[in-house]
């Protein structure tokens, strides 16, 4: 039931993305907006760097004691009247959710924004079971209308512009006056609100993700800017939280500490507009809230990352700063990555979740510029983790033959300094003679990926080492 | 120790690209180091091993790293005119041998005596000004490894500020990657090109007629794009200007034609 990955065709995806004029225009917002806002928010908080250290340490602590916190959390959820369901795989998670929905005879399931539900492709499972899944986050709602997946983990529709959204609304909202004015973004927003309001009121089950699960209290927390999450989880009779294991933190204070870097890193806000806590179902005397409260605790490969060289990735709090600062993401956008998670975090996580045979392009498609790591609020060494994937590919002989061959030939000479100096000395003189007049080559063997769009500067002539020998 | 302090023996790790493509950067580095009171030696060398390391070939990268550490065992400092190769020596050699108790200490000790050229001049040798002249306006690109692995940002700007006749104008998005990324530029040439196109747009927008950076890989990428676009912006390594050695043609320009 999971999404079919187009990651093996990453190069083709990228090629199409680079030629997509509308997409390139939309990506302009990522290239500037997010970066400036994060920089300003970070600069305003003198303790920002210390908070990043603290966030990293909290997450590391949890990962080292994950078993204890899972048990403590489960006990607290139960004590508050909720249920915890452990799901090893996406299929198990989907099956549990469908089962819970069916038991209540649900027809409509509203959803808050959740990347985990994208990871397990929950909407398809709900719809296959004969129920309607309705995304209530504006961006998610728009891409659901278009039959698309998110192109960014916090701004799922960042690849679109207002004209496209207007066309989608006119295509789908046929019950509304065809002559209505939708030229302003606020008009689009108002229309989405009124359509979604009906869905909220008619929903039988609400599904949300979680930014944090608090072991101390059995509470789940979501952060949103639209308030849709609150309506999703408060109005229906059943609230289901779907979250992966690594969302656990020990205490409310720990969550509060990480919240201080989360929104600042993501959108540059000090806090998101809503930070919503939910603990168990409605208690006697509560004025609102669900009758049933379920948590689906998903593993889906996470426990295999514990203790491996990819464990650092489990600290990720899904802020999106890495992709916001990534030159490759800026160039091709999120869909080119071909599966659920784009950008640097996706380049590390995707091979973990769908296998390096399918996801292998992503950790290679990086310049290792390190800008992602420099902004990561929990200091994940993303380039290093991508390099670990390259190591695994190399060990398993998954790297392209041409790359391996070229590398092997280069290594043969690089490990033999005498031979290297002799042969490169000859080669550079020859290349210099050929390229002398222009000072550059318009074409070079084995380097067409370069020379198709760029010249290759020609060498000056005799190598440094040969000239140095003569100088002495 | 006084010998070290007064006239340290510096092993120049010239980098494979400079060795093969643009030796004049190596000679500029030698001049700057000698002017800063160092004795410069050039042990036999090939490459730092970064291509193997970043391709996931751990065994080859360790072999080459061992070769480099042995070749430079006898010098007080290892200095290299590249933030990228410097990053490999300083940050990644210790990482390569982290799980090898026989080599880990050696790699860490080696890393501790390695420096990128410009930061070595300012931070270790206390150079605060150079005696050179260049008439014109330049802009400076911060290469990623130097900037983010070695914190090289102020040092080149500070020294460039003392070059007579040179006015330095800041490059918009000076801290954004140029799209080189080693083999990335060939393997993912189309994406690499999209990134360097953004870069050259910014370079041209400054109106500077000279582009400087501290890494030949990035410089070749940007120079190659600028020349393909028909731009007349000249491209040089920052050491060439600091050493006053700009008599040879800039990167990618016809040989024999000066300026």
Q: Of the residues A240, A272, A303, which one is the last residue of a structural domain?
A: A303
CB contact under 8 A, B191 and A467: no
pLDDT in tens, A358-385: 999 999 999 999 999 999 999 999 999 9
Query: Is residue A2 assigned to a domain?
Result: no
Residue numbers of the domain that contains A461:
417-471
Q: Who's near A107: CB < 8 A, 6+ residues apart? A: A131, A132, A202, A204
pLDDT in tens, B74-97: 999 999 999 999 999 999 999 999
Token digits of residue B251: 């990167």
Distance CA A294, CA A106 (A): 15
Query: Is residue A89 assigned to a domain?
Result: yes
Beta-sheet pairing, A219-224 with A212-214: antiparallel
pLDDT in tens, B228-243: 999 999 999 999 999 9
Distance CA B230, CA B247 (A): 22
- Looking at the fold, whether A163 and A295 belong to one and the same domain comes out as yes
Q: How far is B209 from chain A (nearest CA, A)?
A: 18
Task: Give strand ranges (E) for A197-237.
Answer: 205-208, 212-214, 219-224
A403 neighbourhood in chain B, CB within 8 Å: 55, 183, 187
Which is it for the CA torsion B76, B81, B83, B87, positive or negative? Answer: negative
Minimum-distance CB partner of A394 among B55, B149, B257:
B55
Q: How far is B52 from chain A (nearest CA, A)?
A: 7
The pLDDT assigned to B4 comes to: 52
Number of domains chain A contains = 2
CB contact under 8 A, A454 and B57: no
Q: Is A296 helix (H, G, I), strand (E, B) or coil?
A: strand
**Residue B258 — pLDDT band, cuts 50, 70, 90?**
very low
Find the residue in A nearest to B251 (Cα).
A457
Intervals of chain A under pLDDT 50: 1
Query: Is residue A330 assigned to a domain?
Result: no
What average pLDDT score do residues B146-152 get?
98
On the question of a common fold for B2-123 and B128-242, the answer reads yes
Chain B CB within 8 Å of residue A432 CB? yes
Query: Is residue A439 assigned to a domain?
Result: yes
Phi, psi of B153 (to 5 degrees): -145, -60
In the CATH hierarchy, which top-level class contains the domain B2-123?
alpha beta
Selected residue of A395, A414, A430 to mutate for chain B interface (largest B Cβ count, 10 A)? A414
| Statement: residue B3 has pLDDT above 60 | no
In the 8-state DSSP scheme, what is residue A88? S
CB contact under 8 A, A15 and B63: no
pTM value is: 0.96
Find the residue in A nearest to B91 (Cα).
A384
What average pLDDT score do residues B142-146 get?
98
pLDDT in tens, B16-62: 999 999 999 999 999 999 999 999 999 999 999 999 999 999 999 99
Minimum-distance CB partner of B186 among A447, A460, A464:
A447
- Overall fold of domain B128-242: Rossmann fold (3.40.50)
Map out the domains of chain B as residue ranges: 2-123, 128-242
Distance CA A175, CA A156 (A): 26
Find the residue in B nearest to A450 (Cα).
B186
Minimum-distance CB partner of A463 among B19, B181, B253:
B19
For residue B153, count CB atoms less than 10 angstroms from its CB and return exposed for 0-12, middle for 13-18, buried for 19 or more.
middle
Do residues A219 and A256 make contact, with C-beta atoms less than 8 angstroms apart? no
| Statement: residue B1 has pLDDT above 70 | no
Chain B CB within 8 Å of residue A412 CB? no
Q: Nearest CA to A271 among A282, A260, A256?
A: A260
CB contact under 8 A, B189 and A449: yes
Query: Is residue A309 assigned to a domain?
Result: no
Q: Nearest CA to B40 among B152, B102, B117?
A: B117
Minimum-distance CB partner of B20 among A18, A455, A459:
A459
The pLDDT assigned to A403 comes to: 82
ipTM of the complex: 0.96
A 9-68 residues with CB below 8 A of B? 11, 14-15, 18
Query: Is residue A162 assigned to a domain?
Result: yes
Q: How far is B253 from chain A (nearest CA, A)?
A: 5
Minimum-distance CB partner of B20 among A384, A395, A463:
A463
The pLDDT assigned to A1 comes to: 46
For A354, what's the count of Cα atoms within 13 Å in the CB-facing half-sphere?
25
* End-to-end Cα spacing for chain B: 44
Q: Outline where A207-249 has alpha helix (H).
A: 228-234
Residue that the structure tokens 């808050």 belong to: A112
* End-to-end Cα spacing for chain A: 70
CB contact under 8 A, A390 and B56: yes
Q: How far is B58 from chain A (nearest CA, A)?
A: 7
Do residues A180 and A116 make contact, with C-beta atoms less than 8 angstroms apart? no
pLDDT in tens, B157-167: 999 999 999 99
CB contact under 8 A, B254 and A364: no
CB contact under 8 A, A449 and B187: yes
CB contact under 8 A, B189 and A450: yes
Q: Report the length, in residues, of chain B.
A: 259
Q: Of the residues A280, A303, A326, which one is the last residue of a structural domain?
A: A303
CB contact under 8 A, B52 and A456: no
Selected residue of B20, B181, B200 to mutate for chain A interface (largest A Cβ count, 10 A)? B20
CB contact under 8 A, A454 and B24: no
Query: Is residue A230 assigned to a domain?
Result: yes
Q: Of the residues A251, A275, A303, which one is the last residue of a structural domain?
A: A303
**CATH number of the domain that A43 lies in?**
3.40.50.10420
Distance CA B13, CA B79 (A): 6
Minimum-distance CB partner of A414 among B23, B64, B249:
B64
Q: How far is A229 from chain B (nearest CA, A)?
A: 36
The pLDDT assigned to A471 comes to: 82
Query: Is residue A399 assigned to a domain?
Result: no
Q: How far is B180 from chain A (nearest CA, A)?
A: 7
**Residue B259 — pLDDT band, cuts 50, 70, 90?**
very low
CB contact under 8 A, B46 and A18: no
Find the residue in A nearest to B172 (Cα).
A32
Q: Who's near A139: CB < 8 A, 6+ residues apart? A: A113, A150, A155, A156, A157, A158
Phi, psi of B244 (to 5 degrees): 70, 25
pLDDT averaged over every residue in chain B: 95
% pLDDT > 90, chain B: 96
Query: What's the 3-state SS for chain B?
Result: CHHHHHCCEEEECCCHHHHHCCHHHHHHHHHHHHHCCCEEECCCCCCCCHHHHHCCCHHHHHHHHHHHHHHCCCCCEEEECCHHHHHHHHHHHHHHCCCCCCCHHHHHHHHHCEEEHHHHHHHHCCCCCCCCEEEEEEEECCCHHHHHHHCCCHHHHHHHCCCEEEEEEECCCCCCCCCCCCCHHHHCHHHHHHHHHHHHHHHHHHCCCEEEECCHHHHHHHHHHHHHCCCCCEEEEHHHHHCCCCCCCCCCCCCCCCC
């Amino acid at each position: 039931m999971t999404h079919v990955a187009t990651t093996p065709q990453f190069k083709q995806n990228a090629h199409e993305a680079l030629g997509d004029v509308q997409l390139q225009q939309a990506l302009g917002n990522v290239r500037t907006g997010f970066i400036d806002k994060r920089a300003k928010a970070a600069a305003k908080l003198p303790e920002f760097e210390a908070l990043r250290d603290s966030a990293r340490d909290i997450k590391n602590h949890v990962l080292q004691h994950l078993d204890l916190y899972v048990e403590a959390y489960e006990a607290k959820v139960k004590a508050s009247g909720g249920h915890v369901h452990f799901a090893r795989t996406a299929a198990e998670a989907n099956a549990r959710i469908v089962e819970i929905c069916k038991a209540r005879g649900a027809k409509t399931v509203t959803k808050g924004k959740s990347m985990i539900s994208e990871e397990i492709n929950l909407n398809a499972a709900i719809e296959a079971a004969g129920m309607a899944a309705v995304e209530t986050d504006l961006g998610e709602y728009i891409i659901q209308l278009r039959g698309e997946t998110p192109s960014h983990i916090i701004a799922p529709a960042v690849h679109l512009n207002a004209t496209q959204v207007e066309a989608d609304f006119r295509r789908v909202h046929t019950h509304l006056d065809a002559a209505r004015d939708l030229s302003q973004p606020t008009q689009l927003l108002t229309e989405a609100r009124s359509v979604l309001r009906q869905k909220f009121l008619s929903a039988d089950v609400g599904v949300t993700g979680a930014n944090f699960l608090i072991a101390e209290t059995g509470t789940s927390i979501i952060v949103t800017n639209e308030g849709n999450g609150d309506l999703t989880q408060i109005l229906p009779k059943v609230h289901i939280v779907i979250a992966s294991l690594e969302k656990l933190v020990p205490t409310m204070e720990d969550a509060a500490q990480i919240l201080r870097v989360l929104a600042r890193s993501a959108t540059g806000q000090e806090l998101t507009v809503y930070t919503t806590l939910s603990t168990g179902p409605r208690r006697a005397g509560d004025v609102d809230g669900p009758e049933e409260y379920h948590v689906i605790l998903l593993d889906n490969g996470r426990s295999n990352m514990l203790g491996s060289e990819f464990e650092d990735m489990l600290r990720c709090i899904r802020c999106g700063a890495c992709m916001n600062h990534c030159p490759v993401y800026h160039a091709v956008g999120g869909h080119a990555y071909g599966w659920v998670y784009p950008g640097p975090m996706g380049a590390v996580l995707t091979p973990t979740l769908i296998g390096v045979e399918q996801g292998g392009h992503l950790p290679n498609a990086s310049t290792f510029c390190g800008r992602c790591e420099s902004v990561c609020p929990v200091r994940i060494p993303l380039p290093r983790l991508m390099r670990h994937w390259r190591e695994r590919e190399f060990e398993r002989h998954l790297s392209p033959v041409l790359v391996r061959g070229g590398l092997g030939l280069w290594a043969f000479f690089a490990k033999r300094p005498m031979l290297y100096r002799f042969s490169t000395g000859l080669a550079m003189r020859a290349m210099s003679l050929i390229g002398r007049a222009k000072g550059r080559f318009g074409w070079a063997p084995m380097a067409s990926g370069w020379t198709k769009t760029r010249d290759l500067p020609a060498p000056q002539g005799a190598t440094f080492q040969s000239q140095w020998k003569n100088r002495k | 120790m006084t010998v070290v302090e007064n006239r340290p023996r510096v092993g120049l790790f010239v980098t494979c690209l400079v060795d093969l493509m643009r030796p004049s950067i190596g000679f500029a580095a030698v001049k700057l180091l000698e002017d800063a009171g160092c004795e410069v030696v050039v042990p036999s060398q090939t490459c730092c091993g970064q291509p193997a390391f970043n391709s996931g070939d751990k065994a080859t990268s360790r072999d080459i790293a061992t070769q480099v550490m042995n070749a430079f065992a006898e010098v007080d400092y290892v200095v290299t005119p590249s933030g990228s190769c410097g990053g490999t020596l300083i940050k990644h050699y210790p990482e390569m041998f982290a799980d090898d108790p026989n080599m880990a200490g050696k790699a860490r000790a080696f890393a501790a005596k390695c420096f990128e050229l410009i930061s070595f001049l300012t931070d270790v040798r206390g150079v605060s000004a150079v005696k050179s002249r260049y008439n014109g306006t330049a802009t400076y690109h911060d290469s990623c490894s130097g900037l983010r692995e070695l914190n090289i940002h102020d040092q080149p700007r500070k020294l460039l500020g003392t070059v007579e006749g040179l006015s330095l104008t800041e490059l918009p998005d000076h801290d954004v990657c140029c799209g080189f990324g080693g083999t990335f530029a060939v393997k993912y040439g189309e994406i690499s090109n999209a990134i360097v196109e953004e870069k050259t747009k910014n370079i041209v927008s400054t109106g500077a007629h000279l582009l400087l950076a501290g890494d030949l890989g990035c410089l070749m990428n940007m120079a190659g794009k600028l020349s393909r676009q028909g731009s007349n912006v000249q491209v040089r390594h920052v050491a060439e200007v600091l050493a006053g050695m700009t008599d040879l043609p800039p990167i990618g320009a016809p040989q024999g034609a000066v300026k």
